[in-house]
Structure 1
Amino acid sequence: MLSADLLALACGGLVGFSLALIGGGGSILATPMLLYVVGLPDPHLAIGTSAVAVGANAWANLFPHARAGHVRWPAALAFAAAGVLGAFTGSSLGKRVDGHHLLVLFAVLMLVVAVLMLRGRRNGAESGYPKPRLFPRLGATGFGAGMLSGFFGIGGGFLIVPGLIFASGMEIIAAIGSSLVAVGAFASTTAINYAASSLVDWRVAALFVAGGIVGGWLGARLARRLARTRGALNLVFALAIVAVAVYMLVRNLHF
């Protein structure tokens, strides 16, 4: 029990550290770590537990962005409201899918995330905020992002940031801040849905969150110092995601 607790703390710390250091994408490693390192016995239990940890980290990280004025609240709330419906739908479907099949799909998603990380985010502003027909665009995009987030039990920031930019035209720093409202809402919806089916290990989730807080603090302290090597860190992290995805495919595909 003690070794499993320490592993949960360490894995949470690694995810929090990577998120603070290089940005989005880190939370996608939470479910594989809970399965293959911490040792949770069931993919659905790992996804539900991961959703609790991702949601808690998103709400915690929202406050500094809100204080800095990086959250476009009307757009963020509209996107999140539509996405909560999508997250509930997606998480309900995910619970019905065979665990091994779900992990294969999860591994494919990880490969997509790695490609997006290697391409990098756009640094410029979009065509102008707000775009015409803002709320219908936010609703449709938010529902789709929320459904994928709920189905796989992930934060989905790599989907939400470009989705907000596409739907609203906001600049990237506002999209990053606003995305945390949606990440927190989607992950919380998924966590509640899985918890209703007793698919959350609350002890492991609490340890994972505690580790993430410490890891995030350390990553934030190093972020400025390592700014010049951010591209190299991003490359290493993307390659790590590819390696974990390949491992998951080998474990769950029967040739």
Structure 2
Amino acid sequence: MTVLAVPVALVVGLVIGALGGGGAILTVPALVHLVGQSPHEATTSALVIVGTTSLVALVPHARRGNVRLGQGLTFGLVGTVGSVAGSTLGARTSDDVLLLLFAILMLVVAALMARRALSPSSSVDPDEPAEPMLTLRPLTCACPRVVRVVVTATVVGLLTGLLGVGGGFVLVPALVLALSLPTPVAVGTSLLVIAVNSATALTARVATSAQTVDWPLLAAFTTIAVIGSLVGARLAGRLPARAQTSAFAALLVLVASYTGATALLA
């Protein structure tokens, strides 16, 4: 692992720990441009790095009571179909196309992050319990919300399998809007969903391809990312959310521009 990859791994962990996702968006370009892996190798490696880092970052959030275990596992399990489908599709996609798709995804995420930074704070009451999707007395179903959850979980799973990203940038607002979770709880719960999606997608990739994994490299990168995630989890809520989100959006635009140019000029 190159010297430049060390601070990137630390930033990946900080982003995952503080924002509940988004670190994988930087992981794949770092593995491609700084470590020299192919896009296919990088997206597989990212599943290990992001899944492990998210699982470790989950602990301090859970200690603060910001993780809904049942809802997180349900959301993750619903997304398994998308994870498997994305893994299968990713194995059949060329390296240049993968890089171009990743650049486009980074620009979309940057736009979403910028919009979040400029939008007013969520109106959800932090002390208000999450509204269940299904109630038994009387038996009613909030069907539009159920559909949103299923569609979002499937799309996040698809992105995880195809591009090796956890999808936290989609998960956090989805958990806030679809499950009425307060933002701190959505951030913590999203880490559980990311871990489930990453494990599912990694299993599908290992089962459907003969791709090798550089375990010593992954161990070093993941260790640094985990340290960063623990620091990020402690910083969550202490730093201005808008400043964090705006800085991350700007960084994504820069990385997306470089990655997109590399894919188009290859």
User: TM-score, normalising length from structure 1?
Assistant: 0.86
8 Å CA contact 1:8, 1:211 repeated in 2? no
* Match in the other structure for 2:109: 113
For residues 184-199 of structure 1, the aligned pairs below 5 Å read 184-196=195-207, 197=209, 198-199=211-212
Q: Which residue of 2 aligns with 1:140?
A: 151
Query: Which residue does the alignment assign to 1:88?
Result: 84
Contact kept, 8 Å, 1:194 with 1:200, in 2: the verdict is no
Deviant stretches of 4+, over 6 Å: none
Assess if the C-alpha contact under 8 Å between 2:100 and 2:264 holds in 1.
Answer: yes
Per-residue displacement from partner, 1:90-113 (whole Å, max 9, x unpaired)?
111111111101110110000011
Structure 1: how far apart are the matches of 2:190 and 2:57?
Answer: 11
- What whole-Å deviation, never above 9, does each CA across 1:103-160 have from its counterpart, x for those lacking one? 1011000001111111126533189612424655533331222112221110110111
Aligned partner letter, 1:38: V
- Shift of residue 7 of structure 1? 4.5
Correspondence 1:227-246 to 2 at 5 A:
227-228=239-240, 230-246=241-257
Q: Any residues of structure 2 matched to 1:1-255 within 5 Å, and which?
A: 4=1, 6-21=3-18, 24-40=21-37, 42-120=38-116, 122-125=121-124, 129-131=131-133, 132-133=142-143, 137-196=148-207, 197=209, 198-220=211-233, 227-228=239-240, 230-254=241-265
Q: Aligned partners of 1:253 and 1:112: how far apart in 2?
A: 18
SS of the residue corresponding to residue 246 of structure 2 reads: helix
Q: Deviations over 1:167-225 (max 9, x none)?
A: 32222222222211110011112222333422432221111111112223444565666
- The number of equivalent residue pairs is 249
Distance change (3 Å), C-alpha of 1:19 and 1:182: closer
User: Structure 1 residues 177 and 215 mapped into 2: Cα distance closer, same or farther (>3 Å)?
Assistant: closer
1:253 alignment partner, SS class? helix
CA–CA separation in structure 1 for the residues paired with 2:256 and 2:3? 24
RMSD: 2.5
Query: TM-score by structure 2 length?
Result: 0.83
Instruction: Please give the alpha-carbon distance, in whole angstroms, between the structure 2 residues aligned to 1:170 and 1:23.
Output: 14
How far residue 5 of structure 1 moved from its aligned partner, in angstroms, is: 5.5
Higher helix proportion? 1
Please say if residues 52 and 195 of structure 2, whose CA atoms lie closer than 8 Å, have aligned partners that are also in contact.
Answer: yes
- C-alpha deviations, 1:46-86, integer Å up to 9, x for none? 11001100000111111222222222233222111111221
Choose 29-38 or 85-94, whichever is displaced more.
85-94
Cα separation, partners in 2 of 1:136 and 1:220, compared to 1, 3 Å: closer
Structure-2 separation of matches of 1:240 and 1:91? 27
- In the aligned structure 2, how far is the partner of 1:169 from the partner of 1:129? 6
Query: Aligned to 2:245, what secondary structure does the other structure show?
Result: helix
* Unaligned 5+ runs, structure 2: 134-141
